Amino acid sequence: MIRGLLVFAGALALAAPLVHAQVVTVCVFQAQKGHKMHNDSDAQGVVDALSTLKLPNGDAIRAIPVDGISTRDEEAEALKRGCGFVAEVWRNDVPASTPLVAAAGANPSSQNPDLFPGSATEAGTVMEYALRKTNSNKTIAHGEANKSDPWSEVADTIAKKIARAK
């Protein structure tokens, strides 16, 4: 009898982290500012990258791509989908007068291929993002990613900020 209880207690101890781990849901909106990417490709890229990550406490991240929603309707849509966090992604042009672009243009040998991948059309475009809790207007993370694969960079930052905000 006691042996059975000890086995049962051991099994519970092993299962405790699994029971404690939760899922954090993030709605990723393809924002309608800057350049709207067709077929929500940036939102889907961030969702795919977020879905592979876990928070340091073991919580899984469930990311949902959302496209075609106006900024004023994002809150209602996030609540309807059960999202605890709202992330927005959009593309924006970086003008040639930006110090980073001007410096790279002045010295072509120092041009970083990560910052200016592909054709001249892509050279001045960055993916920007913002993260906030649902039911809050306070942005807890924002920035830009300008590498050829910006989605994983943005997803890493979002996951770190969610871990701190929980």
| Torsion angle of C-alpha atoms 27, 33, 39, 41, degrees rounded to 10 | -70
DSSP-assigned beta bridge partners for residue 25:
62
**Tens digits of residue pLDDT in 76-120:** 999 999 999 999 998 887 766 555 544 444 434 334 434 434 333
3-state secondary structure at position 71: helix
Tell me the whole-structure pTM to 2 decimals: 0.70
First to last CA, the chain: 42
- What distances in angstroms separate CA 93 from CA 67, 127, 133, 166, one per listed residue? 21, 9, 27, 33
